[in-house]
Amino acid sequence: MTDADVTADALRVVAARLAAGVAVVAARRLGVEHAATVSSLTSVSLEPPLVLFCVHVDARLRDVLDDVDTWAVSVLADDQGEVADWLASPGRPAVGQLTRVPHRPGPVSGAAWVDGAAAWLDCRTEAVHRAGDHDVVVGRVLAAAQGAPDAGGLVHLRGRLRGLR
């Protein structure tokens, strides 16, 4: 079998079997908050502290990341499925998309930290690597905080969001 034999649908079905944590990545450009749901956040290194996430090359957030070098991550808690759905919905407004999501500015990035999340990070872009129809964004962690000790996590599995405690 060659890679030409693997269809996007076949890979999507297989990838859906891999449980993935759900987070919101946010950035602030010219006073406007931008955010998107991601299920590709990964810790890369402790020394130096690095994380990565993947973003579609055509996403609004990807364009914003060309203009700003700091961004925020909110690791969503088990009860934040509605936030994840909203910030993953196509056609949501570019301006005011966080109006209905309680949040506060991150201490370094000034980008949105979603209230009630399980954890938060502020990061500075270290590198961006093209990978097919997505870019892999590697960020140095500049600030980190955890939410309530009993907060669970939100995962994406088989096309559904599931809260874990």
What's the confidence (pLDDT) of residue 18? 85
2 has a pLDDT exceeding 70: no
Average pLDDT over residues 69-98: 95
Question: Which residues have CB under 8 Å from 6's CB, separation 6+?
Answer: none
Instruction: Give the per-residue SS3 of the chain.
Output: CCHHHCCHHHHHHHHCCCCEECEEEEEEECCEEEEEEECCCEEEECCCCEEEEEEECCCHHHHHHCCCCEEEEEECCCCCHHHHHHHHCCCCCCCCCCCCCCEEECCCCCCEEECCCCEEEEEEEEEEEEECCEEEEEEEEEEEEECCCCCCEEEEECCEEEEEC
Instruction: Supply the mean pLDDT for the chain.
Output: 94
Confidence of residue 3 (pLDDT cuts 50, 70, 90): low
Q: Domains in the chain, start-ordered, CATH in brackets?
A: 23-151 (2.30.110.10)
1 has a pLDDT exceeding 60: no
What's the confidence (pLDDT) of residue 165? 87
What's the confidence (pLDDT) of residue 156? 94
pTM: 0.92
If one compares 135 and 165, the residue with the highest pLDDT of the two is 135
Average pLDDT over residues 106-127: 98
What's the confidence (pLDDT) of residue 91? 86
Range in 35-39, 53-57, 69-73, 94-98 the model is least confident about:
94-98
Average pLDDT over residues 52-57: 96
